[in-house]
Structure 1
Amino acid sequence: MIHTVHPKLNPIREKVEAGERLTLDDGLLMYDPEVPVNDLGQLANLVRERKNGNKAYYNINTHLNATNVCVYRCIFCAFRSDLRSDKGYAMNDAQILARGKEAVENGCTELHVVGGLHHQRKFEWYRDLLKIIHDEYPKLHLKAWTAVEINWFEFLTKRPTAEILEELREAGLGSMPGGGAEIFHPEVRDQICEHKADGNNWIHIHRTAHNLGIRTNCTMLYGHVEKPLHRIDHLMRLRELQDETGGFQTFIPLAFHPENTGLDHIKKPSAVEDLRTMAISRLMLDNIDHMKAYWIMLGIGTAQTALSYGADDLDGTVRHELIYHDAGATTPEFLSVEKLENLIREAGREPVERDTIYRKVIRNSSDPTDWQIGEEVEVAV
């Protein structure tokens, strides 16, 4: 029970303690600069511990960005490249399999696969990329293709979403990441990524995935041209879909990195803004079990602190992350399991290794490449 918070927060505190749902107006109030971020942190931590106790999750994962060539020119993106640019690349089968081999040899349970929308590659290239990895390394979970990429596959094939997802699942797709959501509201989306899948398309694709039994993550990119209203609207649209399908596993608030983008005049969000957004997200998204503090974007110190502001997950080891490092992220490109567990323990939490869909991983201490999947992690309703 929390008794002392800023007076403006008292009605929200009462709702949180009673397990009642917060409204749009509540969300906007929490973005009021007069509301202390520490008070929000207390409320978010109450919800976090109610759901996940003292556990903090991580996984051992590798990223695969098979191409950076992209037909879209999103103003916030530093990763994309033109086809003829010196920066542009597209991996061949041998390079793709080598990444899978590296993941397996380092004990990874997950390969996170996203990239650009290469206008000279057909849908089959994206599908077969999954198939060759899955055929060679069937134990490796493939978390692949954002809703924006699925929308592009629809354009390429002129086929419905469900049919494409079924074919990808047959090729080895295990789950979907939550990227491409950015900010749903058209006032913002039309400014930062006007040509790619809109908010309604993103929701439709994730709804279809959930209805097929494919679990997905969800995200929000904040700290660019959006306002608090756009953020809360975004969270409420995610909450509405989760009410309908229950298919989201975790929410990841993504802090915008402006360096090398078309918005490089914008100052990136402060640590206080990051923690405020994490806390508000935890409080608004009452029906999503997990909140991820993505250390690549937040920085290690802020991500560690976020474990007391609503987050219960630090993501993972994250080998070969390119997208946010191209945008100026100065975090390491890899964290060891020992480092991740130490960060979690320093924050007063208990580290638990999980797989992509939140099952405990049972690992042979003498051989880290020898692991088995255990029971689902416990989450209080």
Structure 2
Amino acid sequence: MEAAREIIKPTAPASLAKIAEKVHAGVRLEEDEAVQVFQSRDLLTLGQLANVVRERLHGNRTYYNRNFHLNLTNVCEASCRFCAFARLEEGMPQAKTYSVEEAVEFVKQQLPNQPTEVHMVNGLHPGLPFEYYLDVLRAVKQTAPSLVIKGFTAVEIHYYAGKYGMTYEQVLTALRDAGLESMPGGGAEIFAARVRKKICKDKADADQWLEIHRIAHRMGMKTNCTMLYGTVERPEERADHVLRLRALQDETGGFQCFIPLAFHNDNSPLRKLNEPTGFDNLLIYAQSRLVLDNVPHLKGYWVMVGEKVAQISQSFGVNDLDGTVVSEKIYKMAGSTSPNALSTADLRRLITDAGRLPVERDTTYNVVGMPL
């Protein structure tokens, strides 16, 4: 019988040798090492190391789900400079606010695809009563009781608390009682105050975002977390952002997935900035996987980076490609040219052609059926 071949670990450059040693040993990177990782542009070395972590956590599995997006309103009084989705008031071109009945009808139209999740993220509409959101949640759950509602960013929770005179916990409790089961990670952007002052000065700050997720976790709700990259942030500010997420995860254990979000410049006030390249996207995935060691899943959001980069990302730390994503609007209005939806067959092909095993999941990563 042929002797087993010895697996030889790639030799890392001297500048990353200590980091590589710790990664292979499963030892956490310190803060200064996290900064070093985010300052490095050595994509292949970081990618190889990130794949070690990815396969240690998930083996050859890549997850996807059957989901669709429902943005109840894009009317928003915030002035985020990276955003092409928001409209300041009703009546403006492309402004849209669903009635409860329209929202229910939209959900009904998606049910033949057998979705397990609706992703519900909205603008900060100054004219809607809080009861509107509760009515929508109740109506959706009545229409599709098994459909998990993942919705309302921490920015929205902060806005509702201030607008309607409630605490964060009161807002979350009311939404949960009406049908909300999980929260997305949007609105985190970059935690650095310097950057937030330039790109999103009039919405929830970093401490408020983190506190809302802390409360949601304490209430037993699983949430996601994100980082917007490619505007005016520096590598060390990216590292700080991920480290602050890591610290909260140490405390609560409530984050289940991290999604790096690439800036798209079309139709936004920051349109003169260059967008992240494919190299940048893969680098962020690898860097994040190495530093954010306690959030189990890393998502390559195909709507944002395109199908080809999302597929390649499975070798750079990513173990989730999101889902069917019917009717995504936020990135579409910022110039994304990716399809409006992918079928489950499309997603499985992206996964299997990269040599990975496709696994359909639900919102909290329970396996739906058996892996193919």
Question: Which TM-score band applies after superposition, normalised by the shorter structure?
Answer: over 0.9
The one-letter amino acid of 1:346's match is D
Per-residue deviation, 1:167: 1.1
Per-residue deviation, 1:94: 2.1
Distance in 2, Cα, partners of 1:270 & 1:14 = 29
The one-letter amino acid of 1:219's match is T
The answer for unaligned runs of 5 or more in structure 1 is: 366-381
Distance in 2, Cα, partners of 1:64 & 1:335 = 16
TM-score by structure 1 length? 0.93
Per-residue deviation, 1:123: 1.2
Pick from 35, 39, 46: which aligns with 1:40?
46
Q: Secondary structure at the match of 1:359?
A: coil
Show the counterpart of 1:227.
234
Per-residue deviation, 1:209: 0.1
Per-residue deviation, 1:228: 0.3
Percent identity (aligned): 48
The one-letter amino acid of 2:117's match is E
2:320 is aligned with 1:313: yes
Q: Secondary structure at the match of 1:82?
A: coil
Alignment of 1:98-247 (within 5 A): 98-247=105-254
The one-letter amino acid of 1:173's match is L
2:88 is aligned with 1:82: yes
Note if contact 1:122-1:156 (Cα within 8 Å) is conserved in structure 2. Answer: no
Q: Secondary structure at the match of 2:349?
A: helix
Per-residue deviation, 1:62: 0.4
Show the counterpart of 1:376.
none
The one-letter amino acid of 1:68's match is N
Aligned-pair RMSD on alpha carbons? 1.3
Note if contact 1:103-1:111 (Cα within 8 Å) is conserved in structure 2. Answer: no
1:280-319 Cα offsets, whole Å, 9 max, x none, are 1000011010000000111111111110000000000000
Q: Secondary structure at the match of 1:358?
A: coil
Note if contact 2:100-2:135 (Cα within 8 Å) is conserved in structure 1. Answer: no
Distance in 2, Cα, partners of 1:60 & 1:272 = 28
Show the counterpart of 2:4.
none
The one-letter amino acid of 1:259's match is D
2:26 is aligned with 1:19: yes
Report which of the two has the higher share of strand: 1
2:294 is aligned with 1:287: yes
Q: Secondary structure at the match of 1:361?
A: coil
Show the counterpart of 2:57.
51
Q: Secondary structure at the match of 2:75?
A: coil
Q: How many residues align?
A: 363
The answer for unaligned runs of 5 or more in structure 2 is: 1-7
The one-letter amino acid of 2:287's match is I
Distance in 2, Cα, partners of 1:332 & 1:142 = 23
The one-letter amino acid of 1:89's match is K
The one-letter amino acid of 1:64's match is L
